[in-house]
Amino acid sequence: MLKVEEQTPVVFSSELLAKFDDIKSRYPADKSKSALLPLLHLVQAEYLWVSTPAMDKVAEYLNIQPIEVYEVATFYTMYFLKPQGKYALEVCRTGPCCLVGAEKILSHLENKLGVKEGEVTADGLFSFRGVECLAACGYGPVLQISPEYTFYENLTTESVDKLIEDLKNKI
């Protein structure tokens, strides 16, 4: 339960709203609630997380009650309800990946980044978490980086080190 707190009001850009309209047009006119999941993805791609004011705006856009948006956003695991690192690393931690060393990758990330699962590094660049099966079991261990959801397979501790350096140098 969130306390009512000061959260920056959100104004969606006209580009974003144009994307909203495009998605809404895919469903029958009275079923625009169907657009909710894709819309939340768009919001997250734009702001890197989904804030309460943003959810309220989405509810307003789709003409539904805010609680209907909260219900959905908290049900699905992909929506970040608090700010994450610029690169949110998600490592698969389910059976087949663990057979080939996913747990090692997770503890390596924790050491390398110096933060615990779910926390953001001081520079705001990285956060990581273990997620359940990413459907790439044959190429494990795997991780993906939101918001683009680029995918990295057959990880080793060395390849993870390199990946993090590359991301750091990207800015």
Partner 1 sequence: MSEKVKVTIDGITVEVDNGTTILNAARQIGGDIVPPAMCYYSKLQGSGGKCRTCIVKVTKGSEKDPRPMPKLVASCRTTVMDGMEVLNITSPEVLEARAGVVEILLINHPLDCPVCDQAGECDLQNLGYEHGLQKTRYEFERRTFERIDIGDKIQLHMNRCILCYRCVFTADQITNKRVHGILNRGDHSEISTYIQQAVDNDFSGNVIDVCPVGALTDRTFRFKNRVWFTKPVDAHRDCDHEKCNGKVTLWYKGADVLRVTARKDQFGEVEEFICNTCRFDKKATADWVIEHPTHIDDTSVIASNHYETLKPLHVIQPNEALQAANEIELHKTVKY
Partner 2 sequence: MSRKLLLEHINVPGINTLEVYRQKGGYRAVEKALKTLTPEEIVEEVKKSGLRGRGGAGFPTGMKWSFLAKPEGVARYLVCNADESEPGTFKDRYLMTYIPHALIEGMIVSSFALGAKVSYIYVRGEMMPQIRILEKAIAEAKAAGWLGKNILGTGYDLELYVQPGGGAYICGEETALLESLEGKRGNPRIKPPFPAIAGLYGCPTVVNNVESIAAVVPIINDGGDEYAKIGIGRSTGTKLISASGNLVKPGVYEIELGLPVEEFIYSDEYCGGIANGKRLKATVAGGSSVPVLPANLTLKLANGEPRLMSYESLSEGGFATGTMLGSGGFIAFDEDQCIVRNTWNFSRFYHHESCGQCSPCREGTGWMEKVLHKIEHGHGTMEDVDLLWDIQRKIEGNTICPLGDAAAWPVASAIRHFRDEFEWHIKEPIKSQSQNYGIANYATPIEKAPVAEEK
Is 148 near partner 2 (CB under 8 A)? Answer: yes
Name every residue whose Cβ is closer than 8 Å to that of residue 136 and which is 6 or more positions away in sequence.
92, 142, 151, 153
Report the chain's C-alpha Rg in angstroms: 18
Three-class HEC string of 31-49: HHHHHHHHHHHHHHHHHCC
Name every residue whose Cβ is closer than 8 Å to that of residue 171 and which is 6 or more positions away in sequence.
125
Q: Which of 34, 121, 157, 159 binds partner 2 (CB under 8 A)?
A: 34
Out of partner 1, partner 2, none, what residue 4 binds, judged by CB under 5 to 8 A for its kind, is: partner 1
Is 1 near partner 1 (CB under 8 A)? Answer: yes
Q: Which of 9, 53, 95, 118 binds partner 2 (CB under 8 A)?
A: 95
Is 68 near partner 1 (CB under 8 A)? Answer: yes
On whether the CB atoms of residues 32 and 68 are closer than 8 A, the answer is no
In the complex, what is the shortest distance from the CB of residue 64 to partner 2, in angstroms, rounded to a whole number? 8
Q: Give the single-character DSSP code of 1.
A: -
Name every residue whose Cβ is closer than 8 Å to that of residue 21 and which is 6 or more positions away in sequence.
none
In the complex with partner 2, the residue whose CB is nearer, 36 or 123, is 36
Where on the chain is the footprint of partner 1 (CB under 8 A)? 1-4, 52, 65-68, 70-71, 74-77
Binding site for partner 2 (CB under 8 A): 26, 28, 31, 33-38, 40-41, 62, 68, 71-72, 75-79, 90, 93-96, 98-100, 131-140, 144, 148-151
